[in-house]
Chain A
Amino acid sequence: MRNKILFGVGAFAMILLARNIYVIAGLPEEVNQGAIFKIIFFHATMAMTALTCSFVAFVSSVLFLITRKFVYDEMAVAVTEVGLAFLAANLITGSIWGRIIWGIWWTWDARLTSALVCWLLYAGYLMLRRAIDEPTQRATFAAVFSIFAFIDVPIVIFSIKWWRTQHPQPVFWAGGSFPPDWAAIFWLNLLALMMVAAVFTAVRLRQEAAQREIDSLRRMAHAL
């Protein structure tokens, strides 16, 4: 039953994404930037999905430290990994946009640098988990590290307000303008990507449960 729900949500998300790509392709080009502006429909939504994953990882890590229930640790690692994939796609699409609009692939601007640091921190989180064998110690250290890494998330979001950056100002919450029909497609695309992230997280959670079963089977094998 759970597999069927996952498959249904995944299929719906893929249909929605395919429909969105078709609609986005038919939109007129932006006056100043041309066709490349349309990358915002994926670049910004992928960043929002990744940062939502970071927030869920933060809440799960706090809950693990309070309750010591491993289900929260599993949730934290699952969403962190999924968020890392989305953040990587966000950084690369941003770099491609920058090559056309700024003429450069990368600049050490506050937004770009803080997003890269965020990616490196969460990659470090996954590497830290691999380095510790004992499950309780691994979960505790990882939870503390995840809470520490989350400090970077508000810096990524507000860096364009706090400092003068080369990155454009936000379209939705800083007086920017976006045609209402374009905004509808943007939010639908965000919904589709969030659904994809939810399916990835559910699959990853199932893998964590399988890993836990392997650990317990290994303990039984040692005991015999």
Chain B
Amino acid sequence: MAPLLLAQVSPDDAVLREIARLQRNFHFLSYGLIVAWLILVAYVLLMVSRERRLKREIASLRAMLEDKTVNRRG
């Protein structure tokens, strides 16, 4: 039975299967690295948008305080 099964697998098939396994292995390594960097880039973008929001909020609060002070003096 075993020789019959072995006869059905040609050496070419084994080589092709090994190449496919190595390629899949390499693709998954690439996916892993891409996802890891995407998470860090997403976090950087989140921080940049938060920084902009904070600056806008500080500017608007300062303008509001200035208006209130001028109105009280006036």
- Is the pair B39, A85 in contact by a Cβ cutoff of 8 Å? yes
Interface residues of A in 14-47 (CB under 8 A from B): 21, 29, 33-36, 38-39, 42-43, 46
A217 to B28 alpha-carbon distance, docked (Å): 50
Residue from B28, B50, B64, B69 whose CB has the most chain A CB atoms within 10 Å: B28
Total interface residues on B, CB under 8 Å, equals 30
Interface residues of B in 33-50 (CB under 8 A from A): 33, 35-36, 39-40, 43-44, 47, 50
- Is the pair B32, A42 in contact by a Cβ cutoff of 8 Å? yes
Closest CB-CB distance, B21 to chain A, in whole Å?
7
- Is the pair B68, A224 in contact by a Cβ cutoff of 8 Å? yes
Closest CB-CB distance, B11 to chain A, in whole Å?
20
A121 to B24 alpha-carbon distance, docked (Å): 34
- Is the pair A96, B35 in contact by a Cβ cutoff of 8 Å? yes
Chain A residues near B58: list those with CB within 8 A: 210, 213-214, 217
Total interface residues on A, CB under 8 Å, equals 36
> Looking at the complex, which one of A34, A196, A218 makes contact with B21 (CB distance below 8 Å)?
A34
* Mask of A79-106 contacts with B, CB within 8 angstroms, 1/0: 0001001101100110011011000000
- Is the pair B47, A93 in contact by a Cβ cutoff of 8 Å? no
- Is the pair B22, A96 in contact by a Cβ cutoff of 8 Å? no
Q: Which chain A residue shows the least CB distance to B42?
A: A85
Chain A residues near B65: list those with CB within 8 A: 217, 220-221, 224
Closest CB-CB distance, B54 to chain A, in whole Å?
4
* 9 pairs of residues in contact across A and B, judged by CB atoms under 8 Å: A29-B22, A36-B25, A36-B29, A39-B32, A88-B39, A93-B35, A100-B28, A203-B47, A217-B65
